[in-house]
Amino acid sequence: MRGLTARLARVAELVGDVRCVADIGSDHGLLPVALVQECAAKTGVAVELTDGPLRATQEAVLRAGLQDAISVRQGDGLQPLASFEADAIVLAGMGGQTIWDILTSSHAARVLAAEPVRLIVQPMSGSGLIRHWAGIYGYRIAADVRVRDSGVIYECLRLDARVDGPRMPPVDWVGVAPQRRREFEELDSDGKWRLTFGEYALQVGCQYAAEQMRDEGAKLRRALRELAYPKNDRAYARAAALGADLAALLKLYESVFGSRF
């Protein structure tokens, strides 16, 4: 799609054809502008939190001559959106914890519990937390893909609201978040790794996922070398936890790719 990096082009593919797309943290409005220009979206909403990015996005929309089709708004997360306004919402280029905070807010309860809304998320880190969120809040992972852009591997997910099963009532949306977040942290190493890399990538033997797993293994080994001679109980506990994580990662890698690294 014109004017988009490989990362944003993959995000645009996952948006598909929609009535209205809302891009949260729009970064100069590149995505909504491209989607409206290509007629993949009839209208768009670009949301920015701070003044500088807001002005840059407004100027980009004006340059494209799309000020009547794309509304640029200032606000936090989904707060500027009205219920039933957007049928696809994009959260790309931010950390998994930030996306979690946005998706577990009262604003999200108001917008997402009103009707099924397609979510396209591209976390820069912490993708396992987002896969965990989907299972809790009544969403299924409809697409889980990776793309390399300027040497970096990005994960892009499309989450579709379940229409054939229980969904989180708005009254419970915010209240359950702290406990569910703790449940993620308390998962064993294998459970965390599976969420980190995604079941689909593991099932198909995704080579980008393999590269990510090797990178994680290298980080763990470096950390363990730094703790080769722990000096106190806390350091011993940290070394034990890192060792368990590494062992689980190696086991998972071998089961998927048939080799060790």
Give residue 253's domain range: 189-257
Q: What is the pLDDT of residue 166?
A: 63
Same domain, 47 and 75: yes
Same domain, 224 and 136: no
Same domain, 135 and 236: no
In a domain, 223, yes or no: yes
In a domain, 101, yes or no: yes
Same domain, 147 and 252: no
Burial (CB < 10 A; 0-12, 13-18, 19+), residue 185, is exposed
Q: What is the CATH number of the domain that holds 61?
A: 3.40.50.150
What is the distance between the alpha carbons of residues 160 and 224, in angstroms, rounded to a whole number?
A: 39
In the listed set 147, 170, 185, which residue is the last one of a domain according to the structure?
185
In a domain, 143, yes or no: yes
Torsion of CA 120, 3, 25, 70, to 10 degrees: -90
In a domain, 180, yes or no: yes
Which three-class secondary structure state does DSSP give residue 222?
helix
Same domain, 135 and 59: yes
Same domain, 138 and 105: yes
Per-residue pLDDT of the chain (261 residues; tens, 9 = 90+): 778 999 999 999 999 999 999 999 998 899 999 999 999 999 999 999 999 999 999 999 999 999 999 999 999 999 999 999 999 999 999 999 999 999 999 999 999 987 789 999 999 999 999 999 999 998 999 999 999 999 999 999 999 998 776 667 777 889 999 999 999 999 999 999 999 999 999 999 999 999 999 999 999 999 999 988 777 888 888 989 999 999 999 999 999 999 999
Same domain, 168 and 121: yes
Same domain, 128 and 227: no
> Would you say the C-alpha torsion 218, 198, 121, 173 has a positive or negative sign?
negative
Same domain, 165 and 47: yes
In a domain, 204, yes or no: yes
CB atoms within 10 A of CB 73: 16
Number of domain units in the chain: 2
In the listed set 158, 185, 212, which residue is the last one of a domain according to the structure?
185
In a domain, 1, yes or no: no
Same domain, 174 and 208: no
The token pair at 146 is 């990776």
In the listed set 137, 162, 185, which residue is the last one of a domain according to the structure?
185
Same domain, 194 and 175: no
Same domain, 126 and 28: yes
In a domain, 75, yes or no: yes
